[in-house]
Structure 1
Amino acid sequence: MPLPTLSDHRKGLLLTAIGGVALSMDIPLVRLANGDMWSIVGMRSITTVVVTLVIVCLIRWIKGSWPAMVPGRAGLVAGGLYGLSTVTFLLAVFNTTTANVVFIVAFNPMFGALLSWLFLKERPSMSTLVTMVVMILGVGMIVGDGLSGGNSFGDAMALLTALVLAGAITVGRASRRAMGFVPLLAAVLPAGLGLANALPAGLVIENPAWIIFNGAVLMPVSFWCLASGPRYLSAPEVGMFYLLETILAPIWIWLIFSETPPVMTLIGGSILVTAIMAHSLWMVRRQPATEQAPAV
């Protein structure tokens, strides 16, 4: 009996789930590498670019044609946003706690809902609007605690990362084009910036194997999966899979480094996670069962 093929919606769910799990290991590997920020940015990004070019050449050799890499103007815009998000994300990692970073970046789906409303005319549901209000409360608690703890710059970079990522996802959603290679090739922007700042004094990375593995394996997998998701899912749905990093990254950090988040971060993060999970479950229950396409 032929196996049914996955519907587009289920493809999107599977891709973004894989991407979210892979992304959750990013911060722990950055911390394990133990290096200067610009050295980490440069090494992580240049390995991603090199691996991407190797994959593209292999596809060209196997299929006899080049894969779609940067689809027109939308691809350039999305690439610029993905490149910027890498820099702001690592600025956040080096200037505030891991829990603050992942909980604030979890605001991404709500930014995605707002941008989709403004530019794609995809009006968010009442449940989404209520969730946004609750998430603003949670982020406010984390950022307020960061201000008193001297982490305001790192928290601001995390919030900017959430906005920039939401913008990149929205551009991908609007274009409906294949964007899987865009964030990978866009790593050339942070690679150039990082190496330009680090090389005059020399790369400073105590354990480079961790950051090379991160840039060569985990980042290509996570970026490609998450950038491909908007072909099948809405921008808020894709953004919600960044919640996997929000949940898992603090656990990895706690297991590896015994780093316990501040109380206000845990409270605000719990509000964020609860709000997004409740909204996600509500959306899944409302999502009609998609008919499976017949196998060819």
Structure 2
Amino acid sequence: MTEARSQHRLGIALVVAAAIAWSTAPFFTRLLPYDSWTILFWRGLFGGGLIVAIMLQGRAGLRDLTRIGKSGWLVASLSTSAMIAFIPSLQLTSVSNVAIIIATGPFVTAALAWVWLQEVPHARTMVASVVALCGVAVIVGNARIGSDILGIALACFTTLAIAAMTVMVRRHKDTSMVAAAALSNFLGSIVSIPFAGSIAGIPGADILILAMFGFFQVALGLTLFFLGSRLLPSGQAALISTLETPLMPFWIWVGFGEVPTLRVLAGGALVMGAVIADIAGDIRAQRPSK
């Protein structure tokens, strides 16, 4: 029982760290004057390269790379599909629409886990997910579902792909998915080649930024999420990952001095409060009774 509690808390810490890493995406994107597909190509190349380099340091990592299996390919394909759909969804509809649709992820993930794994979502996590969704709505503000149906459909597909990926990782929790993280990065780079406008001729300083983007935001974030989500109920892992949304403006404030608006601060407080309350309630529930 003590070991299970320890693993559960480790899972929480890993997914929180993944959300922090993912939240740096706007910071790096702001530094790069290139189209999204060019950034996706280089980001995936550096991210996947780092994961492979780390895995090759040990025999177990090399074995995982050569024996990724059907589940690993499926997880990698879902991850890549989510990344690819996310970029055009932002181009075809408003960021507000995309953010709110993706914020429904904990509910979609919990529903899939319920059907697929018979994993009944905890009422506390569902209530916290509702509060977090309200917080995201406050942050983006004025979100309206307009006539841009394709962009909205792609955002819905992104949400479904991420949810299915999370449940798959949980279902195959005894299988290493780090190789799948590397594969998904490389697949993203390959798919982006026909659409990228300026892959070649990028200055050295920007290559360094792209490398940091791939290493920290993608490689570290995706690997931590895969490792952590194996140890948590799927709905809770998805809920914790919503910390990414309120942390995004924080990095823009740190890097560019743009002070978040009162609406962003209020919405961020709701999201962070919901996640912290769920984690605190979870820890209390796992304490052994005296």
Number of the residue aligned with 2:64:
68
Number of the residue aligned with 1:58:
57
Structure 1 pair 266–17 and aligned structure 2 pair: CA distance change class (3 A): closer
Matched, 1:35 2:4: no
Aligned-residue CA RMSD (Å): 3.8
Structure 1 pair 159–261 and aligned structure 2 pair: CA distance change class (3 A): farther
Q: Percentage identity across aligned positions?
A: 27
Q: Secondary structure at 1:147's aligned position in 2? A: coil
Number of the residue aligned with 2:185:
187
5+ residue gaps, structure 1: 291-296
Structure 1 pair 6–119 and aligned structure 2 pair: CA distance change class (3 A): closer
Matched, 1:120 2:121: no
> Given that residues 23 and 218 in structure 1 are in contact (C-alpha distance below 8 angstroms), is that contact kept between their aligned partners in structure 2?
yes
AA aligned opposite 1:189: L
Aligned equivalents of 2:4, 2:111: Cα separation in 1: 33
Please list, as runs of the form range in 1=range in 2, the aligned pairs for 1:89-128 lying within 5 A after superposition: 89-91=86-88, 105-128=102-125
Aligned equivalents of 2:149, 2:268: Cα separation in 1: 17
Number of the residue aligned with 1:197:
195
Structure 1 pair 159–246 and aligned structure 2 pair: CA distance change class (3 A): farther
TM-score with structure 2 length normalisation? 0.78
How many angstroms does 1:157 deviate by? 4.8
AA aligned opposite 1:182: A
How many angstroms does 1:134 deviate by? 4.6
Structure 1 pair 221–257 and aligned structure 2 pair: CA distance change class (3 A): same
Aligned equivalents of 1:52, 1:168: Cα separation in 2: 18
Alignment counterpart, residue 86 of structure 1, candidates 83, 87, 104: 83
Comparing 137-146 and 12-21, the one that deviates more: 137-146
Aligned equivalents of 1:237, 1:256: Cα separation in 2: 30
Q: Secondary structure at 2:215's aligned position in 1? A: helix
5+ residue gaps, structure 2: none
Show CA shifts across 1:101-131 (max 9, x none).
6665443333221211121111123333444
Aligned equivalents of 1:217, 1:136: Cα separation in 2: 26
AA aligned opposite 1:22: A
Show CA shifts across 1:155-184 (max 9, x none).
765554333222111001111222122122
Aligned equivalents of 2:152, 2:257: Cα separation in 1: 21
TM-score with structure 1 length normalisation? 0.77
Aligned equivalents of 1:195, 1:91: Cα separation in 2: 15
Aligned equivalents of 2:122, 2:10: Cα separation in 1: 24
> Given that residues 109 and 235 in structure 2 are in contact (C-alpha distance below 8 angstroms), is that contact kept between their aligned partners in structure 1?
yes
Show CA shifts across 1:137-165 (max 9, x none).
55666788233899987676555433322
- The number of residues matched between the two structures is 283
